[in-house]
Amino acid sequence: MADTYDVIVIGTGPGGYVAAIRAAQLGLKTAVVERDDVVGGRCLNYACIPAKTLLRAAELLDEAKNGAEQGVIAKDVSIDFPKLHERRESVRKTLTGGVAGLFKKNKIDLIEGEGSLTEGGDVKVGDTVYETKNVILATGSVALPIPGTEFGDRVLDTWGAWSLPELPKSIAVVGAGASGSEIASAYIRFGAEVKLIEMLDQILPAEDKDVVRVVERTFKKQGIEVLTGAKVEDVTPGDGSVKFKAGGADHEVDYLIIAGGRGPDVEALNLEAAGVKIGDNGKIDVDGGQQTSTESIYAIGDITPGPALAHKAMEEGIVAAEKIAGQKVHAIDLDSIAGATFCHPQVASVGLTEAQAKEAGHEIKTSKFKLGGVGAGAVYDDRDGMVKLVVDSKYGEILGAHIVGNRACDMIAELVAVKDLEGGYQELTRIIHPHPTISEAIPEAARAVDGWATHA
């Protein structure tokens, strides 16, 4: 038996490393287990951060190419893929190095290897068993290929898309949720031909239909071929391309990107031996303190119910650590967790869509206010973006908030705060926003609920 700990966290993604740091801050002897050769998990190394680094480059390229109306003339602007990937690696190493430094600062032991649970609730890594009073499981998720396909040289997961060594002539992205839409949005601006394929009847299926209309219209204007209600079949990778059928037609592209399903990464954890129960959806059942069916074992992030989002995992990590330390905790309200999609235009939302609110039986009022109605909207040439609110008719509670357009992913935080603090749209009408900013559209959308937006 090796060292004894108060807490061992399996996985060092956003949820895992935050859980470990919080546990150590609370005086608990803490270790983390990581099977990869670098800390930070999928988000820092293969997903969120690399993706946003490339999306930032796409944004700069697009602005340079289309700056003539602003008086900026740039000739022969292009993307340098090797340099772009150098930048991606630099950002990644900065952040993962920061996490490793925080482990040292907080005296958190790093155990390298794949961790699994023992029958007694300890953690086994290789041939060594580490005794611990508590375990936090934070192993994230894995990419799932669509039926009839396997990942390979021409059929890639999302990390494969973000790490292509050179600009392809053409790609097809299967799955038009957040990840798929971001990939499509980046590569169309890089100069590739892009098909975006979604099995359901709209892209960004989790978003409000009014928001989706703006995005789909913009995507098509940018040159993305959007296929909805389409199933990908007969995938045949070849030498230099991949063929498939979708939407009643034959297609051939350089790469097929699978950006659809992901599943909880729990196979190696030996959950059954430790008595940890899995729900019908394949995720680990937890209570409001992130505790599993086994008292000393907690679970957070993508392996638990709710959206697979890094910021959800981080907060769950804090809750789990504080529960272990004996502090009073409050269950996370999954309806108050915002989603953010960094495509162009950006999309961000929290709470219910208009359709979901009606389906749930709420009596509602809605409002829409275009970003072009405020001065900054004209400055940033964003006339089609908007803020949409879905509110309870009787009490004014914000049931849902939806933003599409410039800076949407940053602006949503204000609406999350008001919703989480149980404020109503009436409070939003009186919050003074700095001028000229895109955020001025938020109080205007609130005023529009009662028909008195001053710039509409």
- What is the reported pLDDT for 2? 65
Residue 435 appears among annotated catalytic residues: yes
Q: List the structure tokens of 454.
A: 């001053």
Q: Which of 305, 259, 316 is nearest to 282 (CA)?
A: 305
Residues 6+ apart with CB under 8 A from 150: none
- What is the reported pLDDT for 261? 81
Catalytic entry in 344, 433, 435, 455: 435
The whole-angstrom separation of Cα 189 and Cα 237 is: 25
The whole-angstrom separation of Cα 180 and Cα 191 is: 17
Domains of the chain (ranges, CATH numbers) = 4-141+263-334 (3.50.50.60), 155-260 (3.50.50.60), 345-449 (3.30.390.30)
- What is the reported pLDDT for 311? 98
- What is the reported pLDDT for 361? 98
Spans of the chain below 70 pLDDT: 1-2
- What is the reported pLDDT for 371? 98
> Residue 201, Cα to own-chain centre: how many angstroms?
21
3-state secondary structure of 223: coil
Identity of the amino acid at 113: G
DSSP E strands: which ranges in 118-175? 123-125, 128-137, 141-143, 155-156, 170-174
pLDDT in tens, 256-270: 999 988 999 999 999
pLDDT in tens, 394-426: 999 999 999 999 999 999 999 999 999 999 999
- What is the reported pLDDT for 1? 54
- What is the reported pLDDT for 432? 97
- What is the reported pLDDT for 147? 87
Query: What is the side-by-side order of every strand in the sheet holding 155-156?
Result: 155-156, 255-258, 170-174, 193-198, 225-228
- What is the reported pLDDT for 343? 98
CA distances from 12 to 22, 111, 354, 383 (A): 13, 11, 37, 41
Give residue for tokens 């895992």: 16
Instruction: Yes or no: say if 171 and 192 are a contact pair by the CB < 8 Å rule.
Output: yes
